[in-house]
Amino acid sequence: MNEKRKIKKILIPNRGEIAIRIQRTCRELGIPTVAVFSEPDRYALHVRYADEAYPLPGSTPGETYLNQELIFDIAKKCNADAIHPGYGFLSENARFARACREHNITFIGPPPEAIDLMGLKTEARRLMTEAGVPVVPGTEPLETAELAAESANKIGYPVLIKATAGGGGKGMRKVEKPADLKSAFDACQREAQSAFGDPRVYIEKYATKPRHVEFQVLADLHGNTIHLYERECSIQRRHQKIIEETPSPVLDDDLRRRMGDVAVEAARACGYANAGTVEFLVDADRNFYFLEMNTRLQVEHPITEMITGVDLVERQIRIAEGETLTTEPIPRRGAAMECRIYAEDPNQNFLPSPGHIKALTDPGGPGIRNDSGVYSGFTIPMEYDPMISKLVVHGENREQVLTRMLRALEEYHLLGIRTNIAYLRKILMHPEFISGDYDTHFIPKHQDSLLETEGDNHDEEAIALVTAGILSFMNNKKQSAQSPANERRSTSRWKLAGRVRAVGNTGV
């Protein structure tokens, strides 16, 4: 039996919106927070919001947010008795989780043993197979391209070559025919070595019309495990999720129940505790297969919070303190969607667009949540991931969520940098997305039409005028006149809302 241990101060070795997200829950719980920051992040919002903040000399991740020795020195200096790693950086690092134990610091995350088991994809596949969890047909780690070719012939093309220690779409290649296998195999090995320090790769069968559906799980230190429903994550660019929604349009109640039960069994099989995500592939025939388990809080966790009313960060902290998790079913309310807002230029091959934010207008109104790490006057650094924020909406059903997200994206303006906001709008307006009948091939299939120039993301004067109009509207000021451009935008918005309603509430 694990003893209860009240956490008194939490150090967050992370940055941006996830650091602020954790800080907010800690503030509600009355737990002081400690921020750390690299030189490029000296004026970042997470530094301003924290109760204490300490510099990490340097600018690269290795010098700063991944510097374990320096992190523990700061924890000792400020008397932090717990660490919440967020996602990325040290969040799925078993060595770091073990080091927290050695320093008598509570690691707000899973046991290092579970991180080890799930961190190697082939080991996770073996464990899930032993537990009776369905997995995508695949192989153990393969040392040579010749062995890979033999396995691919047995499995049948197309196949995916994947890094054993991979994640985030790195070290992954689709191979359509035998002639392309060796070059893809060699490229995956090089990328896996560079990204993860481990060149091992393996092969999985590539499914037709695959959908990426994941289940949020929570497990306490006393053996209790539950799930908090699913998230549909099939809108991906280069294997990176950019839009997520819940409920999934493809799941009915029976499939949801069966996948949820399997997700819970998968977590139990590896001795899991705290928050985690079990990821599945759902094929065209609605068969589902285990893909992997992410042993951390996911980027897209807010949509689960919106439909359940559960603060997942609070539950993480309570579990780490030794509290018992309620096993009563948690009701699901409505639907939710998240769009990841990036400082990047889709029309320049998604080139990152760091720079100074001259003006910022946040969306608002019913059901709107914007988890952001920036502010007007902040300079987005070039050293890190270009994600600006996560725009999240909640509504009674998918129809309302779609129209609400489109309205929120129209209200969201950042002057001085390029963003993917117009690109996201086009995805949401596409008939396939509106119908809910899409899969992980959606973006490659429609990329040309999605990249057609819209213009409102490149004209700073127009953005400034629209921003001023929105601010005036939000302050309930009567506008004496509208420009033709604003009239066209307003008309198109209501026509679009009607178009979404006409499609109906597919799958929800």
Locus of tokens 């932090």:
80
**Residues pairing with 163 in the sheet:** 201
332 is catalytic: no
Peptide bond into 61 cis (omega under 30): no
* Cα–Cα distance measured from residue 441 to residue 443, given in angstroms and rounded to the nearest whole number: 6
- Please tell me what DSSP assigns to residue 224: -
Residue 461, number of CB atoms within 10 A of its CB: 8
* Cα–Cα distance measured from residue 241 to residue 340, given in angstroms and rounded to the nearest whole number: 8
Q: Which amino acid is at 503?
A: V
The string over 397-426, giving b where at least 16 C-beta atoms fall within 10 Å of a residue's C-beta and e elsewhere, is ebbbbbbbbbbbbbbbbbbbbbbbbbbbbb
For residue 424, give the nearest of 408, 439, 411, 409 by alpha carbon: 409
- Please tell me what DSSP assigns to residue 178: G
Q: DSSP labels for 471-487?
A: HHHHTTPPPS---HHHH
* Cα–Cα distance measured from residue 138 to residue 503, given in angstroms and rounded to the nearest whole number: 38
Element (H, E) at 289: strand 288-294
For residue 327, give the nearest of 249, 230, 226 by alpha carbon: 226
Q: Which of 211, 231, 296, 369 is catalytic?
A: 296
Chain-centre distance for alpha carbon 78: 30
- Please tell me what DSSP assigns to residue 329: P
* Cα–Cα distance measured from residue 314 to residue 336, given in angstroms and rounded to the nearest whole number: 20
Residue 158 backbone dihedrals phi, psi, to 5 degrees: -75, 160
Q: What angle do CA 173, 179, 183 make, to 5 degrees?
A: 45
Residue 7 backbone dihedrals phi, psi, to 5 degrees: -80, 135
Give how far Cα 191 sits from Cα of 142, 169, 178, 198, Å. 15, 11, 21, 9
* Cα–Cα distance measured from residue 190 to residue 122, given in angstroms and rounded to the nearest whole number: 18
Around 195, how many Cα atoms within 13 Å sit in the side-chain half-sphere? Answer: 20
Catalytic residue annotation: 296
